[in-house]
A and B are shown apart, each in its own frame.
Chain A
Amino acid sequence: MKSPPTAATAARDAALLTLRCDRGLSATEQDELSQWLAADPQHRAALGEHRWGWDELDRLAGLQTSVHAIPDPDLLAPPKARVRGVLLRFVAPIALAAAAVTLGLFLWQARAPLVPTAAPVRSLALIEQRELSDGSVIELNRGAIVTEHFTSTERRVRLQRGEAHFKVAKDAARPFFVEAGGVAVRAVGTAFNVRLDSASVEVLVTEGRVKLETATAAVLAPVADEGSRPGPVAPEPTFLGAGERTVVSLAPAAPAPQVAPVPPAEIEARLAWQPRLLDFTSAPLPEIVAEFNRRNPVRLILGDAALAEMRLSATLRSDNLEGFVRLMASDFGLSAEWRGDDQIVLTRAGQ
Chain B
Amino acid sequence: MVTLRKIYGLSQKETAARLGISEPTVEAQGAIGLRKCIEYFRRHGYRLPL
Contacts and interface: CB of A to CB of B under 8 A. Distances in A.
B41 A53 contact: yes
Given A49-B47, A49-B48, A103-B46, A15 B38 contact: yes
A201 interface: no
A58 interface: yes
Nearest to B8: A71
B37 A11 contact: no
B31 A75 contact: no
B31 A18 contact: yes
Contacts of A69: 8
Contact of A91 (B12, B33, B44): B33
A19 B31 contact: yes
Interface in B1-50: 1-4, 6-12, 18-19, 27-38, 40-41, 44, 46-48
Contacts of B11: 23
B37 A91 contact: yes
Contacts of A102: 46
A92 B3 contact: no
Contacts of B8: 64, 69, 71
Contacts of A23: 11-12, 27
Contact of B6 (A48, A58, A74, A103): A58
Nearest to B10: A71
Nearest to A98: B46
Contacts of B28: 16
Contacts of B32: 15, 88
B6 A61 contact: yes
A63 B48 contact: no
A76 interface: yes
A54 B38 CA distance: 9
A73 B17 CA distance: 12
Contacts of A76: 3, 7
A99 B41 contact: yes
A95 interface: yes
A50 B41 contact: no
B1 A87 contact: yes
A95 B41 CA distance: 8
A95 B32 CA distance: 14
A57 B11 CA distance: 14
Interface in A65-105: 69, 71-76, 84, 87-88, 91-92, 95-96, 99, 102-103
A205 interface: no
A12 B31 contact: yes
B27 A20 contact: yes
Contacts of B10: 71
A337 B48 CA distance: 25
Contact of B38 (A50, A58, A84, A96): A50
A160 to B, nearest CB: 13
Contacts of B48: 48-49, 52-53
Contacts of B9: 61, 64, 126, 128
Interface of A: 11-12, 15-16, 18-20, 22-23, 48-50, 52-54, 56-58, 60-61, 63-64, 69, 71-76, 84, 87-88, 91-92, 95-96, 99, 102-103, 126, 128
Interface of B: 1-4, 6-12, 18-19, 27-38, 40-41, 44, 46-48
16 contacts: A11-B38, A15-B32, A15-B38, A50-B38, A53-B34, A60-B6, A61-B9, A64-B7, A71-B8, A88-B2, A88-B29, A91-B2, A95-B40, A96-B46, A99-B41, A126-B9
Given A57-B2, A91-B33, 13 more contacts: A18-B34, A23-B27, A50-B34, A54-B34, A60-B6, A61-B9, A64-B8, A64-B9, A69-B8, A76-B7, A88-B33, A99-B41, A128-B9
